[in-house]
Amino acid sequence: MNPPPPESTSLRALLTPERWREIGRIIIVSLLTLLYWRGLLPQPVLYGAIALGLYPLVKTGLRDLIHERKIGTEIFVTVATTIAMIGGEYVAGAVLMTIILIAEFIADLNTDRARASIKALVGSVPQTALIRTNGQERSVPLTELKIGDIVLVRAGEKIPVDGTVTGGQGAVNEASITGESLPQEKVVDGSVLAGTVVESGALDIRTDKLGKDTMFARIIALVEGAEELQAPVQKLADKVAAWLIPAVFVFLLGVYLVTHDLRKIVTLLIFTSPAELGLATPLVMIAAIARAARAGILVKGGIYLELLAKADVMVFDKTGTLTVGQPVVVGIYPDAAYVSEEELLKLAAASDRRSGHPLAKAVVTRAQEMGLSVSEPTAFEMVQGRGVKATVDGKSVLVGNAEFLSENSIAIPVLSYSPTGTTIYVAVDGAPVGTLDLADQIRPGAKEAIGRLKATGVKQVIMLTGDNSKIAQRVGTELGIDEVKAGLLPEDKVNAIVALQQAGHSVAMIGDGVNDAPALARAQVGIAMGARGTQAALEAADVALMTDDLAKIVFARALARRAYRTIQENLYVGVGVVHVLGITAALLGWIGPVQAAMIHLGPDILVFLNSVKLLRVRIEA
């Protein structure tokens, strides 16, 4: 769990000069209304107080009406206050307007506070940096830093740039970016990110990226822009509000024609305002996006939260997503008549040590892990798509695939085991002496994550991969995948997703954000794994995970479903039930305008509290 938002999101920080003017206006209007009610001021003064209070409402209402073609609470309150004045309900009209001013002030302040929490949850970057030039250390503003400058960061300080460690070592808390609570050890050549904290040690960092180019800045830009992409339920609420307004006026006209009671019309105007419809969704989305950012999950808009909540098919890429993406030696099978296991591995590793191929690196790594002494080859040749030829301790060694042996007139041995991945053959002086079995390892927690996703209502989990069918089926069976499609090109993955969509499914695609970019873009929701250092991944996906932790997909899904449920609660309970009860009470004459205005605060507060709880409440993933 990360620390609570810092002081920047406190009430004091949000009380700008404009906010203080609003507070002053409310106090003046309230005081003048009270004095008039006590008979201490003449009626013209009350007219002035009402005009002072109505000014910001009329201004905002007309602006929304002209520029956005939207009738909001401001117009409703203006009409209600005017009708109250016409009907001689002077105090009721003034009190109604004052209470609505207070409600609007609280709602706006709380919305701004929720927005401000986004930056606070992600963190902040220091505005100065300690740099070393010509052996001298000096503090400079961040705006004066240049690419290549060496920045010094000590324990307890935040890193101001994206860069590479050139000296020192330390433990860095990257929770503000990745959501991981455990500090990461950083040594020379390690990468660090702006906004993270050096918890212990000290680092010399070469500046690689500055300002808006840092990962931190891109995260802030993405999260701040997320609010602009409305969820379908939010668009629906706006549409409902648009057609509800004329229906309300027709309803009120009908009530007046029957009752001829202006006081009742004012009361009904308060409860038929569509204001809470506009508040019910945005606050939830802001809170959910901020909560996701705190966990190292970047959601680019409320629309993707809703689509993720509704997804009934999850499609995974295999390599680098469900698997680690790095092959390892899982089996060593020597021909006992020629070599032992250790001798076979030493020969293969010595031949492969000059190769940069992932399979060759895996062989060398396994030899190092076993503490074997690996010789330097005296001759080395790499054959593209086949393997390597090398001379090791005076022996001619071939390490590669079956085709490589055939092309060198070497008999391919019959395997005594069932391969789990890629088979590498080793031959010495023209004779096969053994094989190595290499496979990509399943990512830790993958099986558990898939099981938990199914428990959240995902009907089908599918794996799409370019790998061969045998390997893909093994991984799919081990993980409990419902359907495996192997040997696919990028366009084949897109076609598979289109087929699912045409069958009526809502599809979420999870991949690496680069190789799977077309499929990510085609799915209803594209989720990129491990976007920590990849700008392409941030741009390709709708949701980006800053680490390769599959549990974060489960958390994102659970958060999205919780957010969608909270919106429904806001609409049905916070708006629907309260307003229906209020309209009923008004029609029966149980309450008047003043009581209605006070009750009207209830849905605003209820919707706000229900929405912002997403910042703190436990999400059952």
Q: What residues are annotated to the active site?
A: 317
φ/ψ region of 137 (left if φ > 0, alpha if ψ in -120 to 50, else beta) reads: beta
Amino acid at 250: V
Residues 6 or more apart from 267 whose CB is under 8 A from it? 586, 591, 592, 593, 595, 596
The pair of structure tokens assigned to 261 is 């009671």
**Residue 373 near residue 346 (C-beta atoms within 8 A):** yes
Alpha carbons 536 and 517: distance in angstroms, whole number: 9
How far apart CA 62 and CA 33 sit, in angstroms, is: 25
Closest-CA residue to 522 (of 595, 581, 464): 464
- What DSSP state is assigned to residue 143? G
User: Which one-letter DSSP state was computed for residue 7?
Assistant: G
- CB within 8 A of 380, min separation 6: which ones? 351, 354, 388, 389, 390, 391
Question: How many helices and strands, by DSSP H and E, does the chain display?
Answer: 23, 20
What does the angle CA 464 – CA 468 – CA 473 come to, to the nearest 5 degrees? 65
Apex CA 364: angle with CA 358 and CA 366, to 5°? 100
Q: 17: helix, coil or strand?
A: helix
Q: Could you identify the residue written with the tokens 């890193």?
A: 159
Angstrom distance (rounded) from CA 58 to CA 7: 34
- Cα of first residue to Cα of last residue in the chain, in angstroms, is 15
User: Phi and psi dihedrals of 401, rounded to 5?
Assistant: -90, 180
Residues 6+ apart with CB under 8 A from 491: 518
Structure tokens, 242: 């648009």
Distance of CA 518 to the CA centre of its chain: 20
- Short-list 244, 158, 246, 136, CA closest to 205: 158
User: Which are the contacts of 416, defined by CB distance < 8 A and separation ≥ 6?
Assistant: 333
Q: How many CB atoms lie within 10 A of CB 565?
A: 12
Question: Any idea which residue has 């302040």 for tokens?
Answer: 109
Q: b or e along 215-251 (b: 16 or more beta carbons within 10 Å of the residue's beta carbon)?
A: bbbbbbebbeebeebbbebbeebeeebeebbeebeee
Residue type, 74: E
Residue 537: which of 549, 550, 521 has the closest Cα? 521
User: What order do you get walking across the sheet with 387-392 strand by strand?
Assistant: 323-334, 431-442, 422-428, 395-400, 387-392, 379-383
Q: Which residues pair with 529 in a beta bridge?
A: none
Three-state SS for 241-263 is HHHHHHHHHHHHHHHHHHHCCHH
d(CA 354, CA 344): 17
